[in-house]
């Protein structure tokens, strides 16, 4: 549970940073008259990047432990701890394999404690993550094909919407990820407690 608390704390930092960035834009403290990104917003994006990196490390450890537990709960659980982590780093595969892993984790953990296998939380968390990936790919292609010049010709209001949309997806994705981590951890902690109680009888 200590690991879950660390993941949750780092996630909340990402949410707070994104919220502050959005508020600054709405208040007009960050302006975009000529460039796609100002220096101030670039600093905020850099901060979010490092916070996300520090979030991913404990999250990867959490995935490893959770998958290991699922293999103990259900011998037919087909995913392995290391591959469950590597799937997130392989292009194209990372668009669907991690979702399949999370779906299996959720179902196995729910069955272990006889709870409803409602996949809405998993779908929301993954759908928002795909939204972030798409925004990231769009931004990468924009710079790779020198489309930044076209962005600079867009009205500032449209640029503002694009940046707020990115912050919205970051906040929402992180929020649902926190809920997903907390719920899966709760289910597995409950299973372990029930197992130990049965062993003592």
Cα distance between residue 105 and residue 124, in whole Å: 15
Q: pLDDT truncated to tens, each residue of the chain (201 aa)?
A: 455 455 555 555 555 555 555 544 444 444 444 444 555 556 666 666 666 667 677 778 888 989 999 998 888 899 999 999 888 888 888 889 999 999 999 999 998 888 888 899 999 999 998 887 787 777 666 555 545 555 555 566 666 676 777 778 878 888 888 888 889 988 988 888 887 777 776
Cα distance between residue 81 and residue 88, in whole Å: 12
The domain containing residue 27 runs over which residues? 2-200
Cα distance between residue 75 and residue 97, in whole Å: 20
Matching residue, tokens 């302006």: 31
CB count in 10 Å sphere of residue 78: 11
Helix (H) or strand (E) holding 143: helix 120-144
Query: What total of structural domains would you count in the chain?
Result: 1
The structure's pTM equals 0.71
- Among 99, 71, 69, 97, CA closest to 83: 97
The pLDDT, as a whole number, for residue 47 is 66
Q: What are phi and psi of 101, to 5 degrees?
A: -65, -50
3-state SS track over 52-83? HHHHHHHHHHHHHHHHHHHHHHCCCCCCCHHH
The pLDDT, as a whole number, for residue 117 is 81
Q: What are phi and psi of 34, to 5 degrees?
A: -125, -35
């Amino acid at each position: 549970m200590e690991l879950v608390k660390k993941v949750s704390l780092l996630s909340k930092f990402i949410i707070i940073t994104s919220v502050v960035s959005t508020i600054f834009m709405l208040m007009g403290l960050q302006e975009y008259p000529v460039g796609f990104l100002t220096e101030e917003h670039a600093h905020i994006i850099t901060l979010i990047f490092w916070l996300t990196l520090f979030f991913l490390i404990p999250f990867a450890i959490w995935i490893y432990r959770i998958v290991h537990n699922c293999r103990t709960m259900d011998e037919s659980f087909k995913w392995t701890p290391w591959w469950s982590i590597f799937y997130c780093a392989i292009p194209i595969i990372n668009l669907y394999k991690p979702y399949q892993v999370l779906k299996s984790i959720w179902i196995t953990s729910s069955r272990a404690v006889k709870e409803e296998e409602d996949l809405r939380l998993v779908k929301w968390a993954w759908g928002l993550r795909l939204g972030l990936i798409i925004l990231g790919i769009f931004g990468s292609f924009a710079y790779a094909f020198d489309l930044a010049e076209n962005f600079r010709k867009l009205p500032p209001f449209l640029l503002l919407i694009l940046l707020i949309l990115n912050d919205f997806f970051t906040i929402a994705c992180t929020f649902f990820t926190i809920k997903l981590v907390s719920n899966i951890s709760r289910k597995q902690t409950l299973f372990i407690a029930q197992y130990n109680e049965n062993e003592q009888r």
